[in-house]
């Protein structure tokens, strides 16, 4: 398994990288962690003529809290997310999700930016970002722009990133106290893509009323999916078995999984319901300990 020949560019600055991307247009692809792109190139499913490697550009890898936001550089590796104490404190969901993404070696290379930019509904970060209401920062020739996560995922393998744009940062609002988050996916074996995955972040007020809820679904829809009706079923009332069951049911109805080796459509819908229920419980549990 050997990629087709290509030209390799390794710019040292963002400007240079963007210039190269414009210069080569459709022929060029950004190389980040390479753990989605290189496997596809080895199989010759992807045959770019130019690779623009962004790994040598400084300033793209960080996890910092600033102005009420958690800012994560696009080039931040999964293993950095996994071991970040800053993240673990506020967003326990990152520990959940990174443990379930591929394996330690892949996590040493794969980046959060690449995971999102790949636009694959089977990847795990998209659902998490939906649950956390993230904003994607895209940098292009005209500077940076903010893309709300709900406008980021388009169709199959496609995102709101324009050609020539680099995903440079993800910004996640720091939630108020009383917030908890959790992620789980069912997988056929460790390292596998999800049979179904569910990310939940929930904020419960002192009065016991759910103030905010974010629910994202992995690999049960052509694109990463926000379970809107499920979120609404929770917000504005106390968390009860009834509201949780409703949220679970809605998510299983609103997703659109396809049957494959991981399971039938019916099975996947049922698993979405089970996971939504379990992750709400887990997130609420964490919220109450927060």
Instruction: List contacts with ligand FAD (CB under 6 A).
Output: 29-37, 39, 54, 74, 101-102, 106, 110-111, 113-115, 117-118, 123-125, 161, 166-167, 191, 193
Dig out the tokens for 100 from the structure. 């379930």
**Applying CB under 8 A, which of residues 84, 123, 159, 195 lies at the interface with another protein?**
195
55 binds another protein (CB under 8 A): yes
Give me the least distance between CB of 279 and another protein, in Å please.
13
Terminal-to-terminal C-alpha distance of the chain = 49
Site string for another protein, 8-47 (x = CB under 8 A): x-x--------------------x--xx--xx-xxxx---
Residues 84-123, mask of contacts with another protein (x by CB under 8 A): ---------------x--xxxxx-xx--------------
d(CA 100, CA 193): 9
Of the candidates 271, 272, 276, 284, which one interacts with another protein according to CB under 8 A?
271
Can you give 15-46 as a three-state secondary structure string? Answer: HHHHHHHHHHHHHEEEECCCCCHHHHHHCCCC
**How many residues in the shown chain lie near another protein by CB under 8 A?**
47
| Cα gap 163→118, rounded to integer Å | 13
Structure tokens at 252: 């299983």
Residue 129 CA to residue 18 CA, distance in Å, equals 25
Whole-number Å distance between alpha carbons of 248 and 82: 28
What is the side-by-side order of every strand in the sheet holding 143-148? 63-66, 69-73, 166-173, 135-140, 143-148
Q: How far is the CB of 233 from ligand FAD (least distance, A)?
A: 27
Nearest approach, Cβ of 64 to another protein (angstroms)?
22
Binding partner selected for residue 136 from ligand FAD, another protein, none, CB under the kind-specific 5 to 8 Å limit: none
CB of 149 to another protein, least distance (A): 27
Question: From the list ligand FAD, another protein, none, which binds 32 (C-beta under 5 to 8 Å, kind-based)?
Answer: ligand FAD
Report the distance separating Cα 55 and Cα 157, nearest Å. 22
**Residue 192 interacting with another protein (CB under 8 A):** yes
User: Could you tell which of another protein, ligand FAD, none binds residue 117, using a CB distance below 5 to 8 A set by kind?
Assistant: ligand FAD
1 binds another protein (CB under 8 A): yes
Q: What token pair was written down for 15?
A: 């400007």
Contact 77, 109 (CB under 8 A): yes
DSSP 189: S
Q: Interface with another protein includes 262 (CB under 8 A)? A: yes
Strands 135-140 and 166-173: antiparallel
CA 72 and chain centroid, separation: 12
Q: With respect to ligand FAD, which residue has the nearer C-beta, 124 or 254?
A: 124
Using CB under 8 A, list all residues that contact another protein: 1-8, 10, 31, 34-35, 38-39, 41-44, 51, 53, 55, 79, 83, 99, 102-106, 108-109, 186, 188-192, 195, 261-264, 266-267, 270-271, 274
């Amino acid at each position: 398994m050997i990629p087709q020949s290509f030209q390799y560019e390794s710019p040292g600055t963002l400007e240079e990288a963007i210039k190269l991307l414009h210069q080569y247009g459709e022929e060029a692809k950004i190389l980040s962690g390479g753990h989605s792109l290189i496997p596809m190139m080895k199989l010759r499913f992807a045959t770019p003529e130019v690779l623009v490697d962004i790994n040598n550009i400084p300033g793209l890898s960080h996890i910092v809290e600033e102005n009420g936001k958690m800012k994560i550089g696009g080039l931040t590796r999964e293993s950095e997310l996994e071991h970040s104490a800053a993240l673990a404190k506020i967003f326990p969901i990152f520990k959940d999700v990174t443990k379930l993404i591929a394996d330690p070696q892949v996590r040493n290379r794969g980046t959060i930016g690449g995971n999102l930019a790949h636009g694959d509904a089977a990847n795990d970060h998209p659902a998490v970002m939906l649950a956390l209401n993230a904003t994607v920062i895209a940098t292009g020739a005209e500077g940076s722009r903010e893309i709300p996560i709900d406008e980021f995922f388009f169709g199959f393998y496609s995102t709101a990133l324009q050609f020539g744009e680099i995903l440079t940062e993800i910004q996640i609002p720091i939630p108020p106290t009383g917030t908890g988050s959790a992620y789980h996916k069912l997988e056929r074996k460790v390292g596998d893509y999800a049979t179904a995955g569910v990310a939940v972040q929930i904020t419960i007020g002192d009065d016991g009323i759910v103030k905010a809820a974010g629910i994202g679904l992995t690999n049960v829809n052509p694109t990463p999916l926000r379970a809107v009706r499920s979120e609404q079923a929770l917000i504005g009332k106390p968390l009860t078995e009834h509201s949780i069951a409703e949220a679970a049911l809605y998510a299983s109805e609103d997703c659109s999984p396809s049957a494959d080796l991981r399971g039938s459509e019916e099975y996947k819908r049922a698993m979405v319901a089970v996971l939504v229920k379990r992750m709400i419980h887990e997130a609420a549990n964490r919220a109450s300990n927060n």
